Amino acid sequence: MLDVAWVFPISFLVSMVFCFLLLPHYIKKAQAVDMVGIDIHKPGNPKIAESGGIILMLAYLLGLFFFIAFLNKPSTNIYIEEIIGTAATVLFSSFIGLIDDVYEVRWRIKALTPMLGGIPLAVMSLGRPTISTPLGVLDFALLGVVGLVFFYAIIVPFVVTACANAVNMLAGLNGLESGSILIIASALALLSLIKGKNEGLLILTPLIGGLLAFLYFNKYPSKVFIGDVGTFGMGTIIACVAMLAHLERAAFVMFIPHTINAILFFLGKLKGKTPSRRAPMNPDGTIPCTTKWSLRCLILQIHPMKEKEITYVIWGIVALCSAIGIFAYGL
């Protein structure tokens, strides 16, 4: 643990308080300018403030940058570089998500463009061309120059876009995205604490604080939607933690529900069937299963549920995978 450990709870509080105080004002303003989404899982289809992830990401960055003033010793300079690199990666991915919220770009473009945001993360990974997987550690330096180019130009950017899009795909229910990432972030923070991964704690502490405040407004019945700006940002933060703190294997296991959902999504696309994240609720209040090409619909085929119930079930699955991910790291 760093000798400035007392800064962690302050960073946590800065992010949480900023998000909690600013979100109500954002919600009112978003509704006033008609920046809203229709919540079709509620009676009357109410209009809900959209793209609230803007506030979450601002709160996160504020809490993240709070560390810099206290990391002024030579032994902690590396953490300043990683903070700036993480911030640059998150800003780029969140900006892409915001563009999609406003213009609704094609999914092929949305799937690939976050790779550009992986450039700062690739720079932060220079000198450490390894990645841990469930099958072991892959060292791309063993392949020479070709391996290094492949790692920094392809692998690192792909991790960013994969995490960002996976979070974005497992969405569409009140609190689903923010709650799922809060669970994963908390598990990774616990693992970072146990293993002395200061990078992980630095990056995750303000995210957890901001998410706790955001989930208060985003949980059922939601007052604000997170939007792609938030899902892309959250996924990118997890990618940065995985790469910079060398927690790739744990993150991979924790992301199994998101991975399954993404695979189903693309299989549906290949078959010419567009998976729908949202569909009007049934007369009895349960969520309809319009397709089998998503994790949500696979669960609903087993047992019909209302929105809050299916959200809790997916949270439970994510929590189980997160617990397994902690032990998969090798405690």
How far is C-alpha 57 from the chain's CA centre?
11
User: What pLDDT does residue 331 have?
Assistant: 55
Region 167-175 average pLDDT: 92
Say whether pLDDT at 226 is over 70: yes
Is the bond preceding residue 221 a cis peptide, omega within 30 degrees? Answer: yes
Give the start-end residues of each E strand in the chain.
Answer: 36-38, 47-49, 130-133, 136-139
Q: Tell me the H-state helices in 104-130.
A: 107-112, 114-124
Q: Between residues 139 and 59, which one has the greater pLDDT?
A: 59
Confidence band, pLDDT 50/70/90 cuts, at residue 276: low
Nearest to 169 by CA among 113, 221, 301, 161: 161
Average pLDDT over the chain, rounded to an integer: 87
User: What pLDDT does residue 273 have?
Assistant: 65
For residue range 279-290, list pLDDT tens digits in order.
Answer: 667 888 888 877
Say whether pLDDT at 63 is over 80: yes
User: What pLDDT does residue 269 have?
Assistant: 76
Confidence band, pLDDT 50/70/90 cuts, at residue 275: low
CA angle 19, 61, 198 (to 5 degrees): 115
Cα separation of 158 and 35, whole Å? Answer: 31
Q: How is residue 216 written in tokens?
A: 């208060």
| Other C-beta atoms lying within 10 Å of the C-beta of residue 270 | 9
User: What pLDDT does residue 293 have?
Assistant: 83
User: What pLDDT does residue 145 have?
Assistant: 79
DSSP assignment letter at 293: S
Region 34-43 average pLDDT: 89
Say whether pLDDT at 277 is over 60: no
Confidence band, pLDDT 50/70/90 cuts, at residue 255: very high
For residue range 3-27, list pLDDT tens digits in order.
Answer: 667 889 999 999 999 999 999 999 9
Say whether pLDDT at 190 is over 90: yes
Region 204-218 average pLDDT: 97
For residue range 98-119, list pLDDT tens digits in order.
Answer: 888 888 776 666 667 777 777 7
Of all residues in the chain, the percent with pLDDT exceeding 70 is 89
